[in-house]
């Protein structure tokens, strides 16, 4: 599959992403059962996936390797958030069945909606009802666990779900200015750095992996690289909300493969929770605000426009970057209006005999 084909068919990419993500808990559980520890599993599969991407890009997609400083910073933030989430994911997967873990991880679909609301998109009472129904389904799923509930594992999976939702939401902002393959490469590289550092802090020694653990890790390597490429392509073309709503198939893939290869099953109460969760995702909701530019969540403006222009000019004004690159960075960072040639004064020079006009900063 070429990058051009992926970009030309965003619906296909958005549907392939949950397919690749859905096999992750099955391969991960097989590796853990074969003796791999969660930190080593996360470090090996992520670093190999990043290395595979670099090899492919150097041979076939060199044009996607270029990135400007602000874009690299955005990709690094995505990779750090996703890397921390992956560590929580595999530690939670070690304590839970793969099917249950993936159901809990599916809460990221609800978290994406909540983050979109915090980002400025309007939601109606219908969306609130859907979220409540999803939470009710989650209660049935966790309450229907046979034996004593492993609340640490549940908490780790929900923590990963929240961070993965943050990954999807943040990526929509960064993808506004960069191609999906470029974001995939540098986000995955940053993610690999995070998990490898965590693995070294956990245990600096290399722990040999058995052959039965390595083949699912290698399978995870391939599916991880493909899932991030298709995920970011789908988010860029469809937006984070539309892309994640298609991810309902991820749950079906995980549960089906868990039944076939791991001999896992759910209780009747848990199936009722799954039904409530699926209904909440498939129910007709409200239309989201479409005022923002395509592919961008209207994140709240935390400072005045003049203050942003000052900060941007000081950071990039004399850096030797071309005007086209400056304009691209400016739009990605949300700095509106023309870029001044000289940093404007937000307030007059203070009089030594008077108090500094601090309020002038906020009035601007």
Taking the alpha carbons of 5, 8, 12, 13 in that order, is the dihedral positive or negative? positive
- CA-derived radius of gyration, the chain: 22
* pLDDT score recorded for residue 144: 57
* pLDDT score recorded for residue 357: 41
* pLDDT score recorded for residue 58: 96
DSSP-derived secondary structure letter, 106: T
Both structure tokens of 79: 């990779």
* pLDDT score recorded for residue 294: 41
SS3 for 314?
helix
**Would the pTM of this model clear 0.85, i.e. be above it?**
no
Among 206, 208, 170, smallest CA distance to 84 is for 170
Contact assessment for residue 254 and residue 102, using Cβ atoms and an 8 Å cutoff: yes
Buried-exposed string 225-251: b where 16+ CB fall within 10 A, e elsewhere:
bbbbbbbbbbbbbbbbbebbbbbebbb
Tell me the per-residue pLDDT of 8-65, one tens digit each, with 9 for 90 and over.
Answer: 455 676 667 778 888 989 999 999 999 899 999 999 999 999 999 999 999 999 999 9
Contact assessment for residue 298 and residue 120, using Cβ atoms and an 8 Å cutoff: yes
Contact assessment for residue 46 and residue 252, using Cβ atoms and an 8 Å cutoff: no
Tell me the per-residue pLDDT of 218-247, one tens digit each, with 9 for 90 and over.
Answer: 999 999 999 888 888 877 766 656 655 566
Place of tokens 């666990």: 145
* pLDDT score recorded for residue 126: 73
Contact assessment for residue 174 and residue 75, using Cβ atoms and an 8 Å cutoff: yes
- State CA 206 to chain mean position distance: 29
- State CA 67 to chain mean position distance: 19
Give pLDDT < 50 ranges for the chain.
1-8, 285-308, 339-364
* pLDDT score recorded for residue 302: 36
SS3 for 299?
coil
DSSP-derived secondary structure letter, 318: T
* pLDDT score recorded for residue 239: 64
DSSP-derived secondary structure letter, 64: G
Contact assessment for residue 200 and residue 159, using Cβ atoms and an 8 Å cutoff: no
């Amino acid at each position: 599959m070429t990058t051009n084909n992926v970009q030309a068919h965003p619906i296909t990419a958005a549907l392939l992403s949950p397919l690749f993500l859905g096999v992750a808990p099955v391969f991960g559980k097989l590796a853990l059962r074969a003796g791999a520890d969660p930190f080593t599993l996360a470090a090996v599969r992520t670093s190999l996936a990043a290395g595979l991407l670099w090899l492919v890009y150097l041979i076939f997609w060199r044009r996607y390797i270029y990135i400007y400083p602000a874009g690299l910073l955005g990709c690094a933030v995505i990779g750090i958030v996703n890397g921390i989430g992956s560590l929580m994911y595999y530690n939670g997967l070690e304590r839970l069945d793969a099917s249950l873990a993936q159901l809990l991880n599916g809460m990221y679909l609800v978290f994406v909606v909540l983050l979109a609301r915090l980002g400025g998109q309007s939601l109606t009472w219908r969306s609130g009802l859907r979220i409540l129904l999803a939470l009710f389904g989650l209660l049935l799923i966790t309450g229907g666990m046979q034996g004593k509930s492993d609340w640490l594992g549940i908490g780790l999976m929900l923590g990963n779900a929240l961070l993965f939702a943050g990954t999807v939401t943040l990526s929509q902002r960064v993808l506004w200015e960069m191609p999906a393959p470029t974001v995939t490469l540098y986000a995955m590289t940053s993610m690999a750095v995070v998990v490898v550092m965590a693995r070294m802090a956990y245990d600096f020694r290399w722990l040999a992996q058995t052959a039965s653990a390595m083949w699912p890790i290698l399978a995870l390597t391939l599916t991880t690289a493909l899932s991030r490429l298709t995920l970011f392509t789908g988010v860029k073309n469809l937006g984070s909300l539309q892309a994640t709503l298609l991810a309902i198939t991820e749950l079906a893939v995980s549960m089906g493969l868990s039944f076939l290869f791991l001999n896992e099953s759910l209780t009747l109460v848990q199936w009722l929770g799954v039904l409530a969760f699926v209904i909440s995702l498939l129910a007709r909701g409200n239309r989201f605000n479409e005022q923002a530019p395509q592919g961008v969540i209207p994140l709240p403006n935390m400072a005045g426009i003049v203050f942003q222009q000052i900060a941007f000019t000081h950071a990039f004004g004399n850096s030797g970057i071309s005007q086209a690159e400056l304009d691209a960075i400016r739009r990605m960072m949300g700095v509106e209006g023309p870029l001044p040639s000289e940093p404007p004064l937000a307030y007059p020079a203070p009089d030594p005999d008077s108090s500094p006009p601090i309020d002038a900063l906020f009035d601007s």
